[in-house]
Structure 1
Amino acid sequence: MYKLASLTLRDVLVQSTASYAERPALGTVDGSTVVHYKDLGPLAAVLVKSLLSQGLAKGDRVVLLSENRPEWGVAYLGITAAGLVVVPILTDFNPEQITNIVKHSEARVVVVSERLRAKLGDYSGATIAVESLASAENRAAAVSIDTRASFPPVAEDSLAAILYTSGTTGNSKGVMLSHKNLISNVIATRSIIRMHRLDRLLSILPLAHTYECTLGFLNGVTQGSSNWYLDKPPVASVLLPALKKIKPTIMLSVPLIIEKIYRASVLPKLQKMGAYQKESLRPILHRVAGLKLKKTFGGHLRFFGIGGSSVAPDVEAFLLQAHFPYAIGYGLTETAPLLAGSPPFSTVLRSTGPALKGVELRIADPKPDTGEGEIQARGPNVMQGYYKDPAKTAEVFTKDGWFRTGDLGIFDAKSRLFIRGRLKTMILGASGENIYPEEIEALINKSAYVAESLVLSEGSGLTAMVQLKQEVIDDLKAKAKDSIEDFERASEEVLEFVRKEVNQGLAAFSKVSKVILHHEPFEKTPTQKIKRFLYSLTSHKHEVSDKPEGVDPK
C-alpha cells in the first residue's frame, strides 16, 4: 500500500488510479462491466463534471441509490473526492423512507439505478443513471482526463458521507462520517486484514452499509485488490457458480449466512456419520469438514470476515476446530465501523478481539461482581455526529468525549473484548440478575426445529417467539392432514419440546416460561439483525407455558 499524503478519499482515488493502473478494480461476476484502476479516476471525474455543471459545490449532498455494481464505487469515490457529500441509501428501504432521506439530507442530485428508480416516488429533482457511469460514452470522455488535476485537495475533517441507519431501536439517524473517519479505519483494519493486488473480494453484503463499504470496497481500492459484484441476490444458485468462477480470497459476511450453511448443510452431513457420535473424533471430522467448506467457497479463501452481530457459539466453535479462516470484528456505523477485531487463526471463542490500533475502548461503570459495563470508544474513526440532530448527538457522547456504543461487554486479562448484549435489550431478573436475550436466542436457534427466535420480557417471565424451519412446518402440516386443530396441537408439542430442551442449558433466573409460534420471518436490518422494536407479545397466539413434560416430537 502506498503512503497517503492526507487521509482523504480524494488522495485514495488519485493514488490508486496511478499505482494499480492495469489491475481490475471493480467488476461484475459475469464480466459484463469491469473498471480497471487506470479508468477509476477518469470515470469518476466525468461524473463530477456533470454534477458541477448543475451548480453543485463542495459540501452539497448527492444521494446514491443503487444495488451493488461497479458503477456504485465510481459514484461514491467521485462524489466524495470532489468534496461533495455522498448519501448512500440501503436498497431495502421503502419509498417513503427514501423520500424522507432525500428531503432530510437536502440532496441536490440522486444517482440512481433503473431497477430502483421507482422507489424515488414523486421525487422531481435531478437524477443521473448509475448505469451511465461506465458506459462507452463516458469511457470515451474519460480518455484524456488527468485525475489529479480533476480533483483539488479536500480537508481530512470535511464531511464525506451521511449514512442513514435502519437501526434496531426505531427511527433512522444520519451518521456523519468525515474523510478521516473512513480512511483512518481502513488503515486501522490492516492489523487484522492486509489485502494486496492479487486479492479477489466477492461482495455479498450491501455496499450502502459501512461494514461492506469500508472493510470491503474502500479497503480493497486502497490496497489494489479486485472487488466483484453479483447482479442478483446471493442465493445458493447464484452464489455457488460465482464462488467457482471468482475463487475469492476475501469475503465479508454476517453471522446468519454462515450459520445457515452450517446448520442446513454441514451439520446434517456430520450427524449422519457414525464416527460423529464419538466426541473424541469430532475435532478430526470438523477439520475435514472445514477443508470441504473452504473448497465450496472456491478453495482460495484466506479471510472470511464475520460482523454485524454475534455468531452463534456452536457455529463459531465449529469454525475454530475446522481451521476455517474466519475473522471476528465489532463496530458500529457511528465508528466507520470497526472498533475491535481478530484476524484468522488468532480468534478466541466468543471474543471480538482487542481494540484496533489507534482506537481506545473502555468499560464504563463496570459491575463489581462481573466487570460488565457499557463499551465506550474514542478514536479518529468516531463520527462527527448525527446530521441536523445535535440533541441525539449529545446523548451518545460522554462529557469527556467518549462515544457510548450502547453495547455491554467485558475485557479479559489480555484486553480482548467480549460482547454480552445491547444495553437497551438487557432484561433485569427478579433478583437483579442481568439477562441477555441474545445469548438465550443463540441457544434456541441451535434446535433442529428452529429457524430463528426472539426473546422478550413483558410481565412475568421470559417469552420466546420462535419461527420453525420450513421443513418442520411442512412435516407438521402433512401429518395434520388439513386439520387446523391437529396442526396446532402438533406445533405446540414441538414448541414445548424446544422450551424444555433450551431450559436445560439455562440458569434458573433466565429460563424461558413461554414459547410463541411466529409464522413469518422476522423483519431484519441490512446486517440481518432482527428489528426488535417492531415486535411485542400482544398480537400472538399459540402460547406454550409450563405443562407436564412433553414428548420428544422426533
Structure 2
Amino acid sequence: MARDLALAPQAAPALTGSLADSLFETAARAPALPLLARRVAAAGAGADWREVTAGEVRDEVVGLARGLIASGIRPGERVAVLARTRDEWTVFCYALWTVGAEVVPVYPASSRDQVEWILRDAGCVAVMVEDEQSVMTVGSVCASLPALRHVWQLDAGALAELAAHGASVPVTTVDSMRRIVLPDATAVVAYTSGTSGRALGCALSHRGLASSCDTLLAGWGHTAAPPGEQGAVLAFLPFSHVYGLMIQGLCVRGGVLMGHEPEMSAAALTSALRSFRPTYLYAVPSVLEKIYKNFLRAAQQAGRGALFERAAGTARDFAAATERRRLGLGPGPGLDLRLQHAVYERAVYRGLRAALGGRVRRAACGGSPLSRELCLFYEGIGIHLHDGYGLTETGGAVTMQPLGREKSGTVGKALPGTEIRVATDGEILVRGPSVFQGYVGDGSAGRAALRNGWLATGDLGHLDDEGYLSITGRKKDVIITSGGKSVAPAALEQRLRMHPLVHQAVVVGDNRPCVGALLTLDPEFLTHWRAALALQSDAPAREAREENALREEIARAVAAANSAVSRSESIRVFRVLPTPFDVAGGLLTPSLKLRRDEIVRTFAFEIDAMYEARPRSRPRSAPREPALPDDSDDVFLR
C-alpha cells in the first residue's frame, strides 16, 4: 500500500497579491534596508561590493515597469530572459511581475534549437538577452517566432533604454497594474531540463512560488544569520532553474542581502565568496563536491594532504556522533573525539570556512541528493548542511531538514502544508500549495503528472518511520540487467563522484549481463594528481607507468562504490572516456543533468566494446589488485 505523510497546516500567511508586492512592501517599511549588492571592482580577492537599498531597487523596478508599459507589454504576456545570474536579472524579473507579465527563464547555455522551442512553445512576445552571441542566436530563429516583438540586450544598455523609453508613463499606472495581479496568476513558465525528449513548460503561479519561500522563511529564516545581523546570500545558481528562482524569492521576501555571481568556475566562486562573505550558502551537490575536492587538492599541494584527510575523517565522525545524540540514539562525541575535533578546528576547519568567506555557518543543498558522507563532512567543519528536495513542477522545495533533528543522508521532512506519499512502486507523490498549474500547451502531459491532485514526481524514494524522505533515484533511470536485477544508478554514481579524480559517472547495464559505468575525469585534479605522481623515467615508460597507476586509482574508486551495494548490483566493467560530458555536445541538459539516453546512444560502440572485453573466466589464483569483482574490466579510451 502507498504511505501518506501529511503534516500540520501551512504556517506562513497566504499571499494576497503578486510576488512583486513584497519588494514594494519592504521598500515602504524599510527603504534603507540593503537588498542587493553590486560588484564595483573587477573580480578578484579585493573586489568590493556596493549595497543597493530596498528603496533604490524599487525605484529601478518602477522605471523598468514604465518602460515595459511603453513598449506594449501587457498583463499575461510572456517575456523570456536569456542571461546568467546577474543583478539585472532580478530587477528586470520584478519589473515584469509588476506589470503582470509572465517570466520565461531560458538557460544561457541553451542551444539554438532549445531557444527556438522555448520561445515558440511559450509564445514569448519579447526576450531579454545578455550579449551579442545571444542576440545572434535569437535572430537566427526569429522567422519562426511570429509573436516575438522585442529583443533587448543587457550588455548594450537595454535597461537604461527601457527606463528612458517609459519616462512619460505615470507612476500611478504602474501601481494600478501591480495591484490587479492576482495570486493565482501565472508568474513563471519554467521549462524542465528535458533529460528525455522536449522540455515542458511548467506554469507556476505567484502563490505557488511564494508558498515554499514563505514557509521556509517562517520556519528557518532566522538561521540565515546570527541574531541581530542581516543575512547575506551569494546567488550563483542559474535563475533559469526553479531552485535559483526560489533563492531569489527567499532573499527579496525575507529581506536578505543578495549578491550575484554569473560565473560558475571555481576561481570565480572562490573570489566572490571571499569578498562577499555570505552568511548562508545555497548550492547543488556538484558545487559542494567540487569545493571538497578543491580543499583536498590545496592541502595536498601544501604538503598537508594526510592532515586534511585525518581532519576530514574526524569531522565526519564528530558530526555522526552529534547526529546520534540529537536523534536520541547515542551520547554524542566522546572526550577523545572532542579533543581531536578541537585540534583540527584550529589547524584546519576554520581555514576551510575562511575560504568560503568566513561567515557561513549554515547551507542548503538541492537539485539532487547529496551523499551522507559529504553532509557529515560539512557539518563536522562547522557548516550545518540542510539537504532538501523539490522540482520544477513544485516551484521549489517540498521538504527540509527539521531544525535540531537533521538527519544526514535524507532530504528531511515535508514542509508544513505539503503532503508526501510513496506509491507501491516507490514513486514519490506530492500534494500541496506549490504544485504547478500544468504544462503550457500540453494538457495530456499535465494530466498524466497530476493524479487526483497528487503530482507524480518520477523520483523514487522511501519514508522512514519518522517521516524523513530519502531519494533513491529516478524511475525512468532504473536499470534492469539481462538477469532481471533492478539497479537504481544514482547511489553508485554519487559514490563514484566522491573520488577526487572522478568528474562524472553514468551507470549502464540495461539488458546486459552486469552493471557497467562510463566515467570522466576531473581535469584540474588529474593535472594535480599527475604532478604529485612525479614518475622519473623516459617519456614512453613514464606514460605507461602513469596510465597503470591511474587505472589502479580509478579501480579503487569503483571498488569503494561497490562496497555499498550487493554483488549483483556492483559495477563489473567500466571505461574512462577522454573528455567530460558537456552541454554543447548535447550530453548534459542546460541545468547540467545527464542526458542518459543520449549518452548511451553516443557511446554505444564503447559500451559494446566494454562488455565484449569483459573476461568470461579467470584462474582462481590470478591476483586481483586493487580488489574488484572477478570479471571487472578497466579499459581506458584515448
TM-score by shorter chain over 0.5:
yes
CA 1:353 to 1:144, structure 2 compared with 1: closer, same or farther past 3 Å? same
Number of the residue aligned with 2:361: 302
Counterpart residue identity of residue 88, structure 1: P
In structure 2, distance between residues paired with 1:480 and 1:446: 33
In structure 2, distance between residues paired with 1:499 and 1:275: 22
Number of the residue aligned with 1:222: 253
Number of the residue aligned with 2:475: 423
In structure 1, distance between residues paired with 2:93 and 2:477: 35
Q: Secondary structure at the match of 1:419?
A: strand
Q: Secondary structure at the match of 2:357?
A: coil
Question: Is 1:24–2:50 an aligned residue pair?
Answer: no
Q: Secondary structure at the match of 1:151?
A: helix
Residues 418 and 432 of structure 2 are in contact (CA less than 8 Å); yes or no, is this contact kept in structure 1?
yes
Question: Is 1:201–2:246 an aligned residue pair?
Answer: no
Number of the residue aligned with 2:427: 374
Shift of 1:227: 1.0
**Aligned partner of 1:244 among 266, 274, 279:** 274
Residues 398 and 415 of structure 2 are in contact (CA less than 8 Å); yes or no, is this contact kept in structure 1?
yes
CA RMSD in angstroms, aligned pairs only: 3.4
CA 1:46 to 1:252, structure 2 compared with 1: closer, same or farther past 3 Å? same
Residues 78 and 101 of structure 2 are in contact (CA less than 8 Å); yes or no, is this contact kept in structure 1?
yes
Shift of 1:480: 8.5
Number of the residue aligned with 2:220: 192
Shift of 1:213: 1.1
Shift of 1:376: 0.3
Shift of 1:51: 2.5
Counterpart residue identity of residue 508, structure 1: R
Counterpart residue identity of residue 342, structure 1: Q
Q: Secondary structure at the match of 2:373?
A: helix
Counterpart residue identity of residue 154, structure 2: V
Number of the residue aligned with 1:532: 596
Shift of 1:414: 1.4
In structure 2, distance between residues paired with 1:274 and 1:508: 28
Residues 10 and 153 of structure 1 are in contact (CA less than 8 Å); yes or no, is this contact kept in structure 2?
no
Shift of 1:496: 4.3
In structure 2, distance between residues paired with 1:275 and 1:120: 52
Shift of 1:464: 0.8
Number of the residue aligned with 1:79: 96
Residues 44 and 75 of structure 1 are in contact (CA less than 8 Å); yes or no, is this contact kept in structure 2?
yes
Shift of 1:491: 5.4
Q: Residue by residue, what CA displacement relative to the aligned partner does 1:421-471 show, whole Å, maximum 9, x if unpaired?
A: 111112246676542211112222233542331111132211111123435
Number of the residue aligned with 1:113: 130
Question: Is 1:233–2:263 an aligned residue pair?
Answer: yes
Residues 7 and 183 of structure 1 are in contact (CA less than 8 Å); yes or no, is this contact kept in structure 2?
no
In structure 1, distance between residues paired with 2:352 and 2:592: 22
Shift of 1:221: 0.6
In structure 1, distance between residues paired with 2:25 and 2:194: 35
CA 1:237 to 1:383, structure 2 compared with 1: closer, same or farther past 3 Å? same
Shift of 1:252: 0.9
Counterpart residue identity of residue 539, structure 2: K
Question: Is 1:454–2:502 an aligned residue pair?
Answer: no
Shift of 1:123: 4.9
Number of the residue aligned with 1:392: 445
Number of the residue aligned with 1:370: none
Residues 295 and 352 of structure 2 are in contact (CA less than 8 Å); yes or no, is this contact kept in structure 1?
no
In structure 2, distance between residues paired with 1:435 and 1:123: 42
Shift of 1:348: 0.6
Counterpart residue identity of residue 205, structure 1: L
Shift of 1:113: 2.2
Counterpart residue identity of residue 539, structure 1: F
Gaps of 5+ in 2: 1-10, 41-47, 143-148, 318-335, 583-587, 628-638
In structure 2, distance between residues paired with 1:378 and 1:275: 44
Number of the residue aligned with 2:320: none
Question: Is 1:406–2:406 an aligned residue pair?
Answer: no
CA 1:300 to 1:472, structure 2 compared with 1: closer, same or farther past 3 Å? closer
In structure 1, distance between residues paired with 2:401 and 2:357: 23
Residues 29 and 242 of structure 1 are in contact (CA less than 8 Å); yes or no, is this contact kept in structure 2?
no
CA 1:322 to 1:142, structure 2 compared with 1: closer, same or farther past 3 Å? farther
Residues 66 and 169 of structure 2 are in contact (CA less than 8 Å); yes or no, is this contact kept in structure 1?
no
Q: Residue by residue, what CA displacement relative to the aligned partner does 1:138-190 show, whole Å, maximum 9, x if unpaired?
A: 48959984664452321111111101222322321111101111111211222
Residues 375 and 408 of structure 1 are in contact (CA less than 8 Å); yes or no, is this contact kept in structure 2?
yes
Q: Secondary structure at the match of 2:476?
A: coil
Number of the residue aligned with 2:202: 175
Q: Secondary structure at the match of 2:605?
A: coil
Identity of aligned residues (%): 24
Residues 202 and 229 of structure 1 are in contact (CA less than 8 Å); yes or no, is this contact kept in structure 2?
yes
Residues 365 and 388 of structure 2 are in contact (CA less than 8 Å); yes or no, is this contact kept in structure 1?
yes
In structure 1, distance between residues paired with 2:258 and 2:370: 25
Q: After TM superposition, list the pairs within 5 Å mapping 1:337-352 onto structure 2.
A: 337-342=396-401, 346-352=405-411
Bigger Cα displacement from structure 2, 99-108 vs 486-495: 486-495
In structure 1, distance between residues paired with 2:377 and 2:182: 46
CA 1:211 to 1:322, structure 2 compared with 1: closer, same or farther past 3 Å? same
In structure 2, distance between residues paired with 1:218 and 1:316: 25
In structure 2, distance between residues paired with 1:8 and 1:303: 29
Number of the residue aligned with 1:318: 377
Shift of 1:407: 0.8
Q: Residue by residue, what CA displacement relative to the aligned partner does 1:290-314 show, whole Å, maximum 9, x if unpaired?
A: 4332222112113311111111332
**Aligned partner of 1:151 among 178, 187, 191:** 178
**TM-score normalised to the size of structure 2?**
0.77
Q: Residue by residue, what CA displacement relative to the aligned partner does 1:196-254 show, whole Å, maximum 9, x if unpaired?
A: 8821111121122110111x211111121211112x51434333332232211122111
Question: Is 1:163–2:190 an aligned residue pair?
Answer: yes
Q: After TM superposition, list the pairs within 5 Å mapping 1:63-74 onto structure 2.
A: 63-74=80-91
Number of the residue aligned with 1:99: 116
Number of the residue aligned with 1:355: 414
Question: Is 1:441–2:465 an aligned residue pair?
Answer: no
In structure 2, distance between residues paired with 1:101 and 1:133: 22
Counterpart residue identity of residue 212, structure 1: G
Q: Secondary structure at the match of 1:193?
A: helix
Q: Secondary structure at the match of 1:539?
A: helix
More helix by share: 2
Number of the residue aligned with 1:293: 352
In structure 1, distance between residues paired with 2:605 and 2:547: 17
**Aligned partner of 2:289 among 259, 263, 268:** 259
Q: Secondary structure at the match of 1:295?
A: helix
Shift of 1:418: 1.0
**TM-score normalised to the size of structure 1?**
0.87
Question: Is 1:126–2:150 an aligned residue pair?
Answer: yes
Residues 15 and 210 of structure 2 are in contact (CA less than 8 Å); yes or no, is this contact kept in structure 1?
no
Residues 283 and 364 of structure 2 are in contact (CA less than 8 Å); yes or no, is this contact kept in structure 1?
yes
Number of the residue aligned with 2:244: 212
Aligned residues: 544
Q: Secondary structure at the match of 2:606?
A: coil
Q: Secondary structure at the match of 1:98?
A: helix
**Aligned partner of 2:574 among 509, 515, 518:** 515
CA 1:136 to 1:423, structure 2 compared with 1: closer, same or farther past 3 Å? closer
Counterpart residue identity of residue 156, structure 1: P
Residues 38 and 52 of structure 2 are in contact (CA less than 8 Å); yes or no, is this contact kept in structure 1?
no
Residues 66 and 167 of structure 2 are in contact (CA less than 8 Å); yes or no, is this contact kept in structure 1?
no
Bigger Cα displacement from structure 2, 271-280 vs 125-134: 271-280
In structure 2, distance between residues paired with 1:299 and 1:496: 37
Gaps of 5+ in 1: 367-372
